[in-house]
Amino acid sequence: MEMEYRIMENKIFKAEKIKSIEKALDLLELLSDNKEMGITEIGKELHMGLSTVYRILTTLKCRGYVIQNQQTSKYTLGINLFVLGGKVQNAVNLVEIVTPFLQKLSQHTNESINFAILEGREAVCLTKIESPEVLRTDIKIGARLPAHCTSVGKVLLAFLSDREFMTLYNNDTEKLFTPTPNSISSVMELKKCLKKIKKDGYAIDKEEFKIGINCLGVPIINNEGKALAGISVTGPASRFNLSEMEKLKSTLISISKDISNQLNRVNML
């Protein structure tokens, strides 16, 4: 099912592909290999017209991704790229901190444990611990899943501000991707569901992403009440049923609070 979702997404991406973005990325990669370069040098190296190079550099300069040496008029990479790199490093540090908690949860449940963040409309799996059972789920690290039909995705969406949510879903009547008959099918339905999730502090995915698979997810909340990341326990519906999820939810919520406290102590929230 994840593969079908990715195929559909790739088709949309290819249809909407913008060449100027590719050119901007080529330019950034070129600057990463060189200390300073001028417009003419860049145009020659990338086989771009000077006007195109100038427009891209002007945009990147305004956003802080390149800076211009006022004496030489040449360009180098800007500070915002280092800021983005720092965020990637923070994600790595985050995984290191939460892993012991995930291992404890894995031992307690014998089910697969996933740790994810929200990127746009997708929940991105940063790390996981597989179930020791023969019958288990298979979500790969780095997998991107539609947030509206996964438990961890829904808890991350539930703690967005109204403004943040509107940037992702600004049309209540929009039809959403439905991988199973149990999936949330519209933005209006999603909004109603998220209100309850925020109140309860957890989300259930009852065969919403894949038939035969159930998930229970909780958010990791910072001091401002925002969800930094989420944890989910995933298992076959035949074994990890509603009764089992009900038994586990208080333990899962407790572990998420422990993680939040740990992250607060190291100033990551």
Of 229, 228, 239, 221, give the one whose Cα is nearest residue 135.
239
Q: In sequence order, what are the residues at sequence separation of 6 or more whose Cβ sits closer than 8 angstroms to the Cβ of residue 183?
A: 148, 149, 176, 177, 208, 209
**Domains and their CATH numbers in the chain:** 2-77 (1.10.10.10), 87-265 (3.30.450.40)
DSSP structural state of residue 147: G
Structure tokens given for 156? 């991350």
Sequential pLDDT tens for the chain (269 residues): 555 555 555 555 554 456 788 899 999 999 988 778 999 999 999 999 999 999 999 999 988 889 888 888 999 988 777 667 656 666 677 888 899 999 999 999 999 999 999 988 999 898 999 998 888 787 888 888 999 999 999 999 999 999 999 999 998 889 999 999 999 999 999 999 999 999 999 999 999 999 999 999 999 998 888 898 999 999 999 999 999 999 999 999 999 999 988 887 766 55
Do strands 75-77 and 112-119 pair parallel, antiparallel, or not at all (unpaired)?
Answer: unpaired
pLDDT value at position 2?
56
Of 58, 30, 62, give the one whose Cα is nearest residue 43.
30
Contact predicate 79/64, CB 8 Å = yes
Of 161, 153, 148, give the one whose Cα is nearest residue 189.
148
Residue with tokens 């740790």: 115
Prediction pTM value? 0.70
pLDDT value at position 14?
52
